[in-house]
Amino acid sequence: GENVEQHPSTLSVQEGDSAVIKCTYSDSASNYFPWYKQELGKRPQLIIDIRSNVGEKKDQRIAVTLNKTAKHFSLHITETQPEDSAVYFCAALKAAGNKLTFGGGTRVLVKP
Amino acid sequence: SAVISQKPSRDICQRGTSLTIQCQVDSQVTMMFWYRQQPGQSLTLIATANQGSEATYESGFVIDKFPISRPNLTFSTLTVSNMSPEDSSIYLCSTRAGAETQYFGPGTRLLVL
């Protein structure tokens, strides 16, 4: 089955700096890659996603890039703010399958 | 996006007892899922709740321990049976809008003593 690895497990950045989280997946049939943000005690919230026919997608301060050949995708947060502090999860969905496979999560701390 | 609610939001239970968690969606959805999130961990899929048929369980999860019902396209329940402290976790209901986009309920925080 699909395996998604996520790095780093923790990330501490200074407010205003950029944060980058990287994920790799194993199944070349995966074609949908969402990112979730989970604040303490809250549900995971979808913040951005990308499909395999697109190499990059941006939404204000967040962007996601996808390299299908290398089977990895990354989340970029620019101009980080304290409210960006949370756990971020990447995930991958196979084209014809039903199961969304999650990475292990990255705990991001933005220091003011 | 679908609005998903869960009941109860949290509970403290004694070992050996069972707890049923309810998930309600404000629109009809084809796919409903149940996840477990242990403290500080990622999300692990327990099963896919199928309307009109038995749930499909992931490796390591069995129907006797986690029976699931899906009586219609807006509602599902997950029961955690014969609980032990190792079952202390957050249980999350999830639905998929369209073919891909997946949303989560607020979760049920379970503590087993």
pLDDT, position B97: 76
pLDDT, position B30: 84
pLDDT, position A97: 61
CB neighbourhood size of A34 (10 A)? 22
Mean pLDDT across the stretch A78-100? 91
pLDDT, position B98: 76
* pLDDT (tens digit per residue) in B11-37: 999 999 999 999 999 999 888 999 999
* pLDDT (tens digit per residue) in A6-20: 999 999 999 999 999
A96 pLDDT tier (thresholds 50, 70, 90): low
Please compute, for residue B10, the number of CA atoms within 13 A of its CA located in the half-sphere on the CB side. Answer: 5
The CA-based angle A80-A105-A83, given to 5 degrees, is 25
Distance in angstroms (rounded) separating the CA atoms of residues B31 and B91: 17
CB contacts of A99 in chain B (<8 Å) are 45, 48, 58
The reply to whether B73 touches chain A by the CB within 8 Å rule is no
Q: Which of B101, B105, B106 sits opposite A46 (nearest CB)?
A: B101
CB contacts of A42 in chain B (<8 Å) are 106
Taken in order A96, B105, A43, B37, is the CA torsion positive or negative? negative
Distance of CA B17 to the CA centre of its chain: 17
User: Is the CB of residue B96 less than 8 Å from the CB of residue B26?
Assistant: no
In 3D space, the residue among A104, A81, A80, A99 whose CA is nearest the CA of residue A23 turns out to be: A104
Query: Per the CB < 8 Å rule, is A98 touching B45?
Result: no
pLDDT, position A85: 98
In 3D space, the residue among B39, B9, B89, B87 whose CA is nearest the CA of residue A107 turns out to be: B39
Task: Indicate the pairing of strand A86-94 with strand A10-14.
Answer: unpaired
Q: Is the pLDDT of residue B104 over 70?
A: yes
Name the closest residue on chain A to residue B58, using Cα atoms: A99
Q: For chain A, give the percent of residues with pLDDT over 70.
A: 98
Q: Which of A100, A103, A105 sits opposite B102 (nearest CB)?
A: A100
